[in-house]
Amino acid sequence: MTNQRNGAGGDTEDEWVDWEPKEPIASPPPSATLDWIETELQAAVIDVLALPGGLSSAVHRLELLDGRAVVLRRYVLDDWMAREPNIPHDEARILELLSRLDLPMVTPSLVLADPDGEVADAPAIVMSEVPGRPELAPVDPGPWADALAETMAYIHAIEVEAVADEVGEWRRWDRPVRPTPIWTEQPEQWEEARERVPDDLPVDNPSFLHRDFHPNNVHWSDTDVVAIVDWLGACVGEPAADLAHCRWNLAVLDGPERAVQFTWRYRELTGYEVDTTPYDLATILSAPVGPFPVFAWHALGRRDLTPEVVGERIDVWLAHILRS
């Protein structure tokens, strides 16, 4: 999505591109990529299924002739790779790290890696399949949000010393300053948010973070969390960063009250008392400039979340943060 610069000083008309894949995100991997996997795994690929829910990459389940199933991630999003050129290398390293950590849920393990796209059509990671599936419209959202908080608390409880040599530090995505989104009905709120967000975000409680923890990346079986996926951004940082990212997702999915409930449960479990507001503002200010990409939510059954609805709910969430 290409949009002209506006707000944020209004100085130039630079183009901003947000979440624009160079091919449809569900397009099947080309034969050269499948040939590489078949050669390395010594088994033919007999079925390819696009997996729903992703924004930053193309993800497919591959069924092999010998009965195995693996998951292929291809980094086909030029905008994402320009911002995070090392992310395929990071993901390969983090998947190996996860196999050594004591987490109470299943995480993917590394099977193959072509992080520079030397053989595959794009930088690619092949990983193990995990059980369960995301749940974005729970019958009982209260326990659902509590379970999300409990799962995040488990992740943050991992000793930093166990991961510090393998992951980087949390980096904010609202810098350089992004223009005011074209979809907002409350541009003055965004100006206020820019004025209030600090240049330096505090890191007083360094912890192991997932970095992209939200309901799309949590797999359930009935009412139990059974797996967590998309660890490519795992890092060390302030827990408020993970909280803020999940909070705005919950505010979009089920309103500010659900985000607040999630936060209360996390604080109850961990004793964490740090104000999340600076991280909430930085997270919101990293939102896409153009119409919000909603295809991941649609693929997981939330077709009610149109770009217009999402924009309105983010405006409501920003108003909540600014008043808190």
Tell me 106's DSSP state: B
Tokens at 303, concatenated: 């077709």
Residue-range domains of the chain with CATH:
31-128 (3.30.200.20), 133-323 (3.90.1200.10)
Measure the CA–CA gap between 309 and 292, rounded to whole angstroms.
Answer: 10
Say how many Å lie between the first and final Cα of the chain, rounded.
33
Average predicted confidence (pLDDT) for the chain: 91
Q: Kind and range of the H or E element at 50?
A: strand 45-50
* Beta-bridge partner residues of 3: 16
Measure the CA–CA gap between 149 and 154, rounded to whole angstroms.
Answer: 9
Measure the CA–CA gap between 106 and 99, rounded to whole angstroms.
Answer: 9
Q: How confident is the model at residue 26 (pLDDT cuts 50, 70, 90)?
A: confident
Give the model's pLDDT for residue 176: 87
Measure the CA–CA gap between 69 and 35, rounded to whole angstroms.
Answer: 16
Taking only the tens place, the pLDDT of each residue in 289-320 is: 988 889 889 989 999 999 999 999 999 999 99
